[in-house]
């Protein structure tokens, strides 16, 4: 209460001060500029936090096509397919207080979110599907993100055209309510084609940001040392935008 009263009093004093400043011409333009800045910042914030549209079940595409890697053959992945992903682990590591190593069962027991959204690929196709899994925020909170963490990197099991796929987002997208670690598509475990057993859904971003075949989530302070430093597979190879907000 004390702190609140202080804030109210400070606010009142600030407003009184502003009224005095506004009486002078220079003061007025200063306040106008400040207001413009604030509106810009506000728009930016609500813009980044806004939800992507969600659709009714009737809108779900009969077939959710695959793109990029659709049947990885490198490393341990084929063995995991044979084992029905019984030994798959998802690591949460990097700038966290408590690194995690989670089984699919661990992930299915967390609070879940389901969302029917439209996936937009830059190659010019879209599909609507229902995705289910815990919010990334739940995993990051469980691991305890350190204050230095500025980005979250997604590590993938697949090699595509000779290189491991990876992606990254900033903290704001990592904590967006529609950013989930999906284990199901349309109520069934993910098909291999769509990233089994785990893939990211980052609904305010274009398709290439939604990392499939997810093996690790890594909190970092900078993207400079990750891959070629551009924050993602296509960003490094083809100059795609790192911030692919839609």
**Interaction site with ligand MTE (CB under 6 A):** 65-69, 121, 156, 158, 160, 165, 193-195, 207-208, 210-213
Estimate the crossing angle of helix 25-49 against helix 2-22, to 10 degrees. Answer: 130
CB-wise, 134 or 207, nearer to Mo ion? 207
Tally of CB atoms within 10 A around 68: 17
CB-wise, 131 or 151, nearer to ligand MTE? 131
DSSP labels, 65-118: ---S-SS--STTHHHHHHTTTTT--EEEEESBSS-EEE-HHHHHHS--EEEEEE
How far apart are CB 137 and ligand MTE at their closest, in Å?
21
Instruction: Among 64, 165, 166, 208, indicate the residue that binds Mo ion (CB under 5 A).
Output: 208
Instruction: Among 22, 100, 110, 121, indicate the residue that binds Mo ion (CB under 5 A).
Output: 121
How far apart are CB 65 and ligand MTE at their closest, in Å?
5
Q: Give which of ligand MTE, Mo ion, none residue 210 binds (C-beta under 5 to 8 Å, depending on kind).
A: ligand MTE
CB-wise, 134 or 207, nearer to ligand MTE? 207
Is 207 a binding residue for Mo ion by CB under 5 A? The answer is yes
Which residue of the chain is nearest ligand MTE when measured via CB? 68
CB-wise, 219 or 235, nearer to Mo ion? 235
For residue 154, CA distances in Å to 15, 112, 211, 235 come to: 46, 20, 7, 14
Size of the site for Mo ion (CB under 5 A): 3
Q: Give which of ligand MTE, Mo ion, none residue 113 binds (C-beta under 5 to 8 Å, depending on kind).
A: none
Q: What angle do CA 97, 100, 103 make, to 5 degrees?
A: 165
Give the residue from 188, 239, 232, 237 showing the smallest Cα distance to 211: 232
> Taking contact as CB under 5 A, which single stretch among the options 4-12, 97-105, 187-195, 205-213 is the one that binds Mo ion?
205-213
The 3 state secondary structure assigned to 116-150 is: EEEEEECCCEEEEEEEEECEHHHHHHHHCECCCCC
CB-wise, 85 or 234, nearer to Mo ion? 234
Counting every residue written for the chain, the total comes to 246
CB-wise, 80 or 201, nearer to Mo ion? 201
- Residue 22: is it exposed, middle or buried by C-beta count within 10 angstroms (0-12/13-18/19+)? middle
Q: Which two tokens stand for residue 123?
A: 């190659």
How far apart are CB 4 and ligand MTE at their closest, in Å?
47
Binding residues for Mo ion, rule: CB under 5 A, are: 121, 207-208
């Amino acid at each position: 209460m004390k702190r609140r009263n202080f804030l109210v009093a400070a606010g009142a004093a600030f407003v009184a001060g502003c009224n005095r400043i506004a009486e002078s011409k220079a003061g007025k333009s200063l306040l106008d500029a400040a207001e413009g800045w604030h509106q810009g910042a506000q728009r930016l914030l609500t813009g980044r936090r806004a939800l992507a549209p969600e659709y009714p079940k009737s809108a779900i595409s009969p077939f959710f096509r695959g793109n990029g890697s659709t049947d990885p053959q490198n490393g341990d992945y084929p063995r995991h397919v044979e084992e029905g992903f019984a030994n798959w682990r998802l690591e949460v590591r990097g700038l966290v207080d408590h690194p995690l190593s989670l089984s699919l069962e661990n992930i299915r027991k967390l609070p879940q979110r389901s969302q029917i959204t439209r996936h937009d690929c830059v190659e010019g196709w879209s599909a609507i599907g229902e995705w289910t899994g815990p919010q990334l925020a739940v995993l990051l909170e469980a691991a305890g993100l350190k204050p230095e963490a500025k980005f979250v990197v997604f590590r993938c099991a697949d090699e595509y055209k000779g290189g491991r796929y990876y992606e990254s987002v900033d903290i704001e997208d990592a904590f967006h309510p529609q950013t989930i670690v999906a284990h199901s598509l349309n109520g069934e475990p993910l098909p291999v084609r769509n990233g089994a057993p785990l893939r990211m859904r980052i609904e305010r971003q274009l398709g290439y940001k939604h990392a499939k075949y997810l093996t690790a989530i890594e909190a970092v302070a900078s993207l400079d040392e990750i891959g070629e430093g551009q924050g993602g597979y296509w960003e490094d190879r083809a100059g795609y935008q790192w911030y692919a907000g839609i």
